[in-house]
Structure 1
């Protein structure tokens, strides 16, 4: 029976150990794999403009830093509000002494006084003391209230600064996105130029073999073919660089990224461009409020402070009769600094200067943003005109190149004339691609100058 009991007990502990091991394994697996699964966000193979902006706002380090700045401001508000609560503390200690004054005090606190005690030499005493203290500042010249107001203003400024970061980040994404579109169009134009010069080279070689074309003309086309090849290499390199720029603002690493320009909508142009709604302006206005509160904090040094206090104390002795006793104390204390070496005046002066600097900074921002908005409006108007002009330029250049190619086949024009025509067509295509990209960027820049989000009116359901 004893053996069976031990066997059952061993099985029980073995089962408990196995269960614990399984739980520990599951916990370790969850800690390693589950957070990683939640942290990873799906990355599209092909990006549209709105998708790229939304992804960057969540994953770019600048956006994460702005969020942490808001959290820090919220913690500062809690710290400032803590001044309105009472402070409760407890003290405990043990001491021994033969100092007549302290020994006599211990005797009185412990309630063991007798007429036989010599006041001049009460002897050695000990004391085990516990004390509960409560203090509350009734008045401090408005310093605490000003601190809370300053912290609240800084939190609102941090929230608006986060919005400003998102606006700038969104514009950076749009700019990188359409730089890729422009670089891709430039690459296609360079590829078309290479294909055109290759076709012309075939015609030229055929004419040269027939004795209908001079060697110099053939060499001119071969030089142009090499130049077109070099331009193509540079265009490919430029496209690779713009892709890296987009990956950087998205907060991603790697070298593969593709965009879907056809599914990227046109953004609305602000009807009445105005910089006054920019988050930076509103944030600075709240920072001015914080500076005003800081000035009131400094001025509070001219006023007295008043504190209410109370304590409860227990004393226990072991040397004289093992006595014990308790006592309490409560009251109000008023402090007034009559002279502090002009320290308060210096603090007030510093706070006043800081407030003036903040107001000057706001004025500077208003002037700069007014100019920025006006420049954005003019730039948008210029890009719209350039799109129309370059579109016509491409159409004319295409027709001219077609005619010159036919005439070159017939031996009516020189290779230099054909080269000039092909170069004009390539340049027209590049200019048109650049004008289109800059127009889309100009719209985004005007929205940024007005404090508007990129693709803010484009719903997530449209992106899916």
Structure 2
């Protein structure tokens, strides 16, 4: 009888173990058949504003010490201070589940997991020596203690068509396709501005700085940001060309150089001067002579009135080469300043474009960080629900809480970076102190470069203002050298004078009248010895000529390097876009499986946290790949300069 009892006990245990294994197998099979559903993206309107993060306080999580039961359904006590800062609602485990209402995304960017509808399971009726069956998998990651007599009814998730991701194909660098649409690169789609426009058009006068450049704010309300103006990239470039102070200074220097040219050209014309004198004179000698003169004779002491005028015409017939050298130097200096305006305009275009892309990246970082906060919150809910169900550990809850706090901290840092990026673009555009900016363009591929590398290098040599600047600077130094040597040559000038004189006196017997005359002549001036000054100045200019030639060779090599570096980055970042898109889909699937494994009891919270981290990294990699491609394209256009439309095609 004892043996029979032993055999019977072994059989019952084996049957129970087999039942448990079958249940685990069914759970794993359901895990494999789950389909990847897109998760709604975080709307731009959910990004915290600058006023909301003046004193950012982290969200506080109340530790769940003991579970509460309501009709057999476990209610975790998860208290979140300021829950409006978290964009997803806090869902209680095993609560009556309705379809999850997500915030409608304003940007079609990264689709994470979508929750399925789960029906409420009946309350658990405790029974003596009842063996607990494994927890059933549910798509919303909500754990419900299952009664052996009544299983939880799960509404299956309708599978949705996934975006087909094509593998990376070798690309011809000469024909990099920029026409990748949002369907080809998932998630790269327009996003709405996070605030309404404060003006009908960015071209309105309120975006222009004050006409007085010496004005600065003196009251806090004058620098307080009152609105956010969405701008496209083209609008930002137009504002920069109109308002940027560095470009305005370059234009003023060009106007000054034009005046210097007009000054030098004046030496080609003769000079005409007019001089007039009027005087009344009574000399002491006349008074002495009058004391001894006979009565009735001339009065030497009578005052004399004199009126004279001189008209002089002069012309430098020969200057030894000084005049032509000065004119040439002024013209070359004007050309240097003109090329400097062109160079600053091209550099300003690149700087504004990069600032705009940095602003787009900051906005995307907030979106991704907000999504990471939501994922961390969901994992925390799962961990607490499992702990309250008796199948989880306190360690997993602590891990989830730490991950949630870390993601909140990263979100706060991303908001600070966004504010900095906004003010950097505002400074570049020189807009008024009270206006804030945001990007209105979607994050998408900006265009494609159709020229091969060799043609791009040759085109850059032809177009870059920096190379022509050095050649013009060399010509300027050569003209200044000739001007210095002209001091050793003779100078010949012609002159003509016409004089008019009228005299009168109080003495009636004095001689008075009006007369005129003229003078014609030529003047020669030759500095025979100057101590070597002219030759020393000429040697200085010869050294400057050699410096300009060396700078030209250096800039030529630098231009080639800039073109090649930008071109290589353009090719690699374009391929990275497709690679990052594939990795993003894989990271989403890995996170889904990690959550299901954790809910089934066969995975750990560490796996979920690692999967969330990998998903965030994949999101960053894709955004950086797209924006990196756009930055490389902008740098390549800057390296070529002047004619981007010849080599760049718009994205279809």
Q: TM-score, normalised by structure 1?
A: 0.80
Contact 1:170/1:454 (<8 A) preserved:
no
Distance 1:62 1:157 in 2: 16
Q: How far did 1:370 drift?
A: 2.2
Contact 1:401/1:421 (<8 A) preserved:
yes
Pick closer, same or farther for the CA change 1:123–1:336 going to 2, 3 Å. Answer: farther
Distance 2:205 2:231 in 1: 20
Q: Are residues 1:88 and 2:272 paired?
A: yes
Q: Are residues 1:353 and 2:536 paired?
A: no
Q: Are residues 1:256 and 2:436 paired?
A: yes
Q: How far did 1:303 drift?
A: 1.7
Q: Are residues 1:194 and 2:370 paired?
A: no
Q: Deviations over 1:224-248 (max 9, x none)?
A: 1100111111111111111111111
Distance 2:604 2:323 in 1: 87
Distance 2:359 2:599 in 1: 37
Task: Name which of 389, 405, 412 aligns with 1:210.
Answer: 389
Give 3-state SS (helix, strand or coil) of 2:436's partner: coil
Pick closer, same or farther for the CA change 1:54–1:456 going to 2, 3 Å. Answer: farther
Contact 2:445/2:629 (<8 A) preserved:
no
Distance 1:79 1:264 in 2: 52
Report which of the two structures shows the higher radius of gyration computed on alpha carbons.
2
Identify unmatched segments of 5+ residues in structure 1. Answer: 1-36, 101-115
Distance 2:312 2:621 in 1: 79
User: Which residue is equivalent to 2:639?
Assistant: 449
Distance 2:609 2:243 in 1: 48
Distance 1:90 1:339 in 2: 34
User: Which residue is equivalent to 1:328?
Assistant: 518
User: Which residue is equivalent to 2:560?
Assistant: 370
Q: How far did 1:167 drift?
A: 0.6
Task: Name which of 227, 246, 260 aligns with 2:425.
Answer: 246
User: Which residue is equivalent to 1:294?
Assistant: 480
Distance 1:240 1:284 in 2: 40
Distance 1:301 1:338 in 2: 9
User: Which residue is equivalent to 2:21?
Assistant: none
More RCO (CA 8 Å, sep 6+) = 1
1:142-161 aligned within 5 A? 142-161=321-340
Pick closer, same or farther for the CA change 1:42–1:376 going to 2, 3 Å. Answer: same
Count of aligned pairs between the two proteins = 406
Please state which structure has a larger fraction of its residues in helix.
1
User: Which residue is equivalent to 2:456?
Assistant: 273
Q: TM-score, normalised by structure 2?
A: 0.58
Distance 1:458 1:264 in 2: 15
1:45-444 aligned within 5 A? 45-94=229-278, 96=281, 127-252=306-431, 253-254=433-434, 256-262=436-442, 266-269=446-449, 271=451, 272-274=455-457, 275-276=460-461, 277-319=463-505, 320-444=510-634
Distance 1:432 1:424 in 2: 12
Q: How far did 1:93 drift?
A: 2.3
Larger mean CA deviation between 277-286 and 446-455 belongs to: 446-455
Larger mean CA deviation between 149-158 and 39-48 belongs to: 39-48
Give 3-state SS (helix, strand or coil) of 2:333's partner: helix
Give 3-state SS (helix, strand or coil) of 1:273's partner: helix
Distance 2:450 2:233 in 1: 18
Larger mean CA deviation between 375-384 and 218-227 belongs to: 375-384
Distance 2:470 2:645 in 1: 26
Contact 1:247/1:254 (<8 A) preserved:
no
Larger mean CA deviation between 260-269 and 332-341 belongs to: 260-269
Pick closer, same or farther for the CA change 1:97–1:291 going to 2, 3 Å. Answer: farther
Q: How far did 1:126 drift?
A: 5.8
* TM-align CA RMSD: 2.9
Q: How far did 1:380 drift?
A: 2.1
